A and B are shown apart, each in its own frame.
Chain A
């Protein structure tokens, strides 16, 4: 090969690749409103993105798969955890991860910041990124199903999704608020009181640490039925 041919390879390779790349960048900008729903990209979402940066969340958590690998990916976190769980976690990590093998720092995030962060994560969760990460897809489907038709849900699934952020059930879920079977055997509430308790715990037991749950009356009813069904019946001695 001559020196001239080598130079030609250099310029041709570089320029061809750069041209393709720049064209694809142009097209990326044309298409990004469609893939990321920029019409929903409100000031609240942008404020939430600033909160995400301010507390350096991204150096422990990945988002879209990028960042630190020390904590779960946040791309679809809304579907996995729901608004209330995220709020509880970011404001009281020391409580939520009291029994966990891995801790999250108490960052001092304010309430308005928490709301903005949730708006940001909700917007992020709707980015059309080919159903990635794969392990969260089941949460996405369950969430959408739950939103559309709560009466048809598998109860165990529903309870684990909604309550599993704090309660365990058959060794699954995060153990902050106690095991559901144990609770079912402890409480003396009837169905309606339990529904009231789920929607606003303070109205039934002032001072309790459980946060109000953002669920419809119908969903609360499904959960209450499930919890009450866990009560063990007394064995009949023969």
Chain B
């Protein structure tokens, strides 16, 4: 197995490292949030560090480390895919510095109440402007690399389309809307069209590349699947945005369009599982690092369970009427973000980081522990939130017992969630420690058939 083919791929390493640091911060904040639910905190503490501040740090670090992973992943796969160096490594580093500076300032600002108070999009305007500058630099760099490349592939354009779509949607969250209903209408243009649109395209493209590289399956086959999957993602996902508009004060037909299209949303994910499975079975290459393959298959399955099944369960209006805005959403949110995007980033890291360090076959005992602990603990966490959510909706919305009673019965389940969360943190730390200290394995790696990336079309 070759390590890296192009020197400029090295820029991605700092993206990965910073993403992993933010991941730890996100999980620690999550644990603090569960303590807020599980116990009664003193008023003095709540006054200086309220739940709202911890939550905005939890969600913003999530978005930040996801985006860092996507950008780093893009920079890692672009040079071999284009068969040339990146257009500019200076731009890549400059963009990283701007992005991280804005993110760090945002987190510190939150502690002092500097916020826009709009969930998940709390970053104040000056910092938003910086993020836009970073995004423009990123897209320009990606586009120039692709334009200057001698070989053109579908994967390149899909990736460029995905990141441009992602950046474009962010703009809809920036203005101040006078009308709350319109505010939330466009809020979902960012959040929904990201996670069920742009991010899926980026995921599908990056995974197509990684699968092609590790399995050695023909590009023609992989790209065909890529077209069908992204086509279905966008077909179901765009109108599927409507499943967030049932209760905001919108015309009745949203119930139908939103319900039907979003019920179809698991379809492309099923396809993704099928094609991953087929490519793994029909691989031309031997399995060098089993852990990387765990992540590839784990991502496909978890993506289907967390985003697909859990989402499908409460996407239809008659069910959503009772589950909307409850801990059931929390359960779905955690399983979906972890299953689809945290695992995607970890797959990228496990694919790229050994290569960046020039390691062909790595020693993976700690990494395997990390994989099983994080995936199982997160699934348990999803179940615990799910139980809390079912209790909440049943007590509050079926039996019509008051809010406080429903929340008090949840305290027990959040103590359980805190315990499971600690285990999850342990798994995350193990994984990250493993990634930061990758060591070559003593055993020899089997010979691998290297598919020349872009040249074999």
Contact = CB atoms under 8 A, between A and B. Distances in A.
**How many interface residues does chain A have, given as a range?**
35 or more
Interface string A54-79: 11111110111111111011000000
Contacts of A28: 185, 245, 250-251
B321 A64 contact: no
Contacts of B246: 130, 132
Contacts of B250: 28, 31-32, 35
Contact of B234 (A1, A3, A14, A66): A14
A182 interface: no
B369 interface: no
Interface stretch (A98-106, A109-117, A149-157): A98-106
Contacts of B227: 3, 6-7, 9-10
B118 A49 contact: no
Given A101-B411, A103-B46, A17 B238 contact: yes
Interface centre among B42, B122, B249, B257 (most CB of A within 10 A): B249
Contact of B396 (A3, A100, A135): A135
A41 interface: yes
Given A14-B231, A59-B117, A133-B325, A32 B239 contact: no
Contacts of A214: none
A9 B41 CA distance: 54
Contact of B178 (A1, A49, A103): A49
A36 B179 contact: yes
Nearest to B50: A105
Contact of A60 (B51, B116, B253): B51
B400 A59 contact: no
A59 B261 CA distance: 29
Interface string A138-150: 1000000000000
Interface in A38-55: 38, 41, 46, 49-50, 52-55
A72 B403 contact: yes
A59 B37 CA distance: 14
- Report whether over half of chain A's contact residues are helix, strand or loop; otherwise say mixed: helix
A20 interface: yes
B163 to A, nearest CB: 16
A64 B187 CA distance: 13
A66 B396 contact: no
Contacts of A31: 250-251
A56 B56 contact: yes
B236 A17 contact: yes
Interface string B359-398: 0000000000000000000000000000000000000110
Contact of A13 (B53, B184, B185, B234): B234
17 contacts: A1-B228, A13-B234, A14-B235, A17-B235, A17-B261, A24-B239, A24-B254, A25-B185, A32-B249, A35-B251, A50-B176, A94-B43, A101-B40, A127-B181, A129-B248, A132-B324, A135-B403
Interface of B: 36-37, 40-43, 46-47, 50-53, 55-56, 113, 115-119, 122, 176, 178-182, 184-185, 187, 220, 223-225, 227-228, 230-232, 234-239, 241-242, 244-251, 253-254, 257, 261, 321-322, 324-327, 329-330, 396-397, 400, 403-404, 407-408, 411
Nearest 5 CB-CB pairings of A with B = A13-B235, A65-B325, A53-B117, A59-B52, A10-B231
